[in-house]
Amino acid sequence: MSALARIGRFLGDNPVIPLLILLALLVGVLEFMRPGILNERWIGNTVKFAIPLAMLAACQTFTMYTGGIDLSAGVVATVSAFVMATLVPVVGTGPAILLALIPALLIGLVNGIGVAFANVHPLIMSLGTGLIGTGCLQVYQRFVIATGSEVPPFLTWLGTGVTWGFPNSLLIFVPFAALLIYAQSRTGFGRALYAIGSNKEAARLSGVRAWQVYLLLYTLSGLVAGIAGLLYVGLIRAPSLSLVNPLLLPSVAAAVIGGTSIFGGRGSYAGTIVGALILRVLDTLLTLMRMPEGMRVLLFGLIILVVTAIYVRLTDR
């Protein structure tokens, strides 16, 4: 009993280890089911698809540190991707990318304003801005229907390309992840996030002005979602009005599986990255099993539940 508790505490303090074990296990099962699948190409593909998911999940992870969530992230990513693709024929690649990130920042800022100044629950706030974003995108689409759209080669290269066996998107993602992992524990901002999520009153007492944190946090979350959208459209190469939306709930799931508490004050982005990889591998696994779609979706849900339940049980204090 006490041994189990000790293991639980160890895993609680090092949440990434059991996740890596689970990931290895899943890959093992995959290799067992389909010997030879575990090759460079498959790994590259899995990583390629996991990266936009992990970036979107960064929005969830960091907002969850404060006890929040960003349900507008999927829409924001879609908006950025779509706006960028439709602007490329008009203004060229560079300006299009920069312009496309403006709505992302804007939606994030509005989320931040609602959470910071009107005390609206982030779930509600980001849900609302997501709706508004979707509507705006649909209206926008009617204006640009004539211009057509184009995914610039640079993004395609980044999204789908492989160099020396490594997906090019790692060029963006590795520095990105390193920065986030550094920032969460070794910057004042990161500390403030955990502090607010752990005890808002105590953070205030210690001099943290929550509104500043929320404003910056949700704006950054918008920005990250926008970048994830650009990367994703580079991967998919076909912009649409609901391009990234299907990744929203998986992004929440990736953060949760990765050990981030939805109530705030606990978690790590490293866990989220592994969580995103687990979801991707799981997806392949379920597809390979040639099950009816219903069974696949069902198992996907069950596994999310089981993993988080085991996790909660192990780290229950």
Partner 1 sequence: MIRVLRNQAWVLGLVGLLFALALVTKAIQPTYSASGFESLARAALPFAFATAGMAVAILVGGIDLSVASMMAVASVTAAVLMEGAGVGTSIGVVFLVLGIGLAMGAINGALIVVTKVPDIVVTLAMLYVWEGVALLILNAPGGQVAPWLQQLIRGSVLPWVPNALILAVVGVAIVWVPIRRSKLGLAIYAVGSDPLAAYRSGVNIAGTRIAAYAICGLFSAMGGLTLAMSTGIGEPIPGPYLLAAVAAAVLGGVVLGGGIGGLVGPLLAVLILRLVRQDLTLASVDPNVTTIVEGTIMVGVVMLGGILALRSRRS
Partner 2 sequence: MTPQPVLDASGVAKRFGAVTALSDAALTVHAGEVVALMGANGAGKSTFVKILTGALKRDAGTVRIDGTDSTISSPAAARRAGIVPVYQEPALIPDLTVRDNLRLGDTPVDPFLHWTRELGIESLDLSETAGRLPLATLRILDLARALAAEPKVLMLDEMTAALPTNLVERVLKTVRYQADNGIAVIYISHRFTEIAQLCDRASVLRDGHTVGDVPIEPGVEDRIVEMMLGTALTSSEPAPRGAEARPAGKPRLRARGLAAGTALEDVSFDLHPGEVLGVVALEGQGQDELFDILAGFRPADRGTLEVDGAPRRFRHPADAIAAGLTYVPGDRAHALLAGRSVRENIALPLTARMGRWGPIGMRAEAEKVAAAIERLQIDTRAQGEVQRLSGGNQQKVTIGRWLAKGVETLLLFDPTRGIDVRTKGQIYPLVRELADQGAAVLFYTSELEEVRRACDRAVVIFKGRVVEVIEAAEATDERLMRAAYGLQTSEGAA
Residue 237's binding partner, choosing from partner 2, partner 1, none, with beta-carbon cut-off 5 to 8 A by kind? none
Question: For residue 166, what are the β-bridge partners?
Answer: 163
Question: Is residue 313 close enough to count as binding partner 1 by CB under 8 A?
Answer: yes
Q: Which of 156, 160, 199, 245 binds partner 2 (CB under 8 A)?
A: 199
Supply the DSSP symbol for 246: G
Binding mask 229-268 for partner 2 (x = CB under 8 A): ------------------------------------xx--
* Interface of this chain with partner 1, residues 49 to 88, rule: CB under 8 A: 69, 71
Binding to partner 1 (CB under 8 A) within 122-151 occurs at 123-125, 127-136, 138-139, 142
Distance between CA atoms of 173 and 183, rounded to whole angstroms?
A: 15
Binders of partner 1 in range 230-259 (CB under 8 A): 249, 252-253, 256
Residue count of the chain: 317
Give the whole-angstrom CA distance, residue 226 versus residue 222: 6
Query: Taking a C-beta distance cutoff of 8 angstroms, is the pair 253, 267 a contact?
Result: no
Q: Would you list the DSSP string of 132-184?
A: HHHHHHHHHHHHHTTT-----HHHHHHHH-EETTEETTHHHHHHHHHHHHHHH
Neighbours of 304 (CB within 10 A): 21
Of the candidate spans 16-24, 80-88, 93-101, 298-306, the one that interacts with partner 1 by CB under 8 A turns out to be 298-306
- Binding of partner 1 at residue 20 (CB under 8 A)? no
Residue 163 sits at φ, ψ, to 5 deg, of -120, 125
Our finding on whether 191 is near partner 2 (CB under 8 A) is yes
10 touches partner 2 (CB under 8 A)? no
Choose the contact partner of 181 out of partner 1, partner 2, none; CB within 5 to 8 A by kind: none
- The single-letter code of the amino acid at 85 is A
Q: Which long-range contacts (CB under 8 A, 24 or more apart) does 15-18 make?
A: 15/258, 15/259, 15/267, 15/268, 15/271, 15/311, 15/315, 16/259, 16/268, 16/270, 16/271, 16/274, 18/311, 18/314
Query: Shortest approach of partner 2 to residue 317 CB, angstroms?
Result: 7
Residue 106: which of partner 2, partner 1, none does it interact with, CB under 5 to 8 A by kind?
A: none
**Interface with partner 2 includes 17 (CB under 8 A)?**
no
The 10 Å CB-count burial string (b at 16+, else e) for 109-136 is bbbbbbbbeeeeebeebbbbbbeebbeb
Q: Does 99 bind partner 1 (CB under 8 A)?
A: no
Build a one-symbol-per-residue string for 257-276: x at contacts with partner 1 by CB under 8 A, - elsewhere.
----xxx-------------
Nearer to partner 2, 139 or 205 (CB): 205
Name which of 119 and 212 has its Cβ closer to partner 2. Answer: 212
Q: How far is CA 116 from CA 112, 127, 246, in A?
A: 6, 16, 28
| Residue 125 binds which entry of partner 1, partner 2, none, CB below 5-8 Å type-dependent | partner 1
Using rule CB under 8 A, residue 114 touches partner 1: yes
User: Which parts of this chain interact with partner 1 (CB under 8 A)?
Assistant: 69, 71, 110, 114, 117-121, 123-125, 127-136, 138-139, 142, 249, 252-253, 256, 261-263, 292-302, 304-305, 308-309, 312-313, 316
Contacting residues toward partner 2, per CB under 8 A:
2, 5-6, 8-9, 13, 182, 186-189, 191-192, 194-195, 198-199, 201-209, 212, 216, 265-266, 317
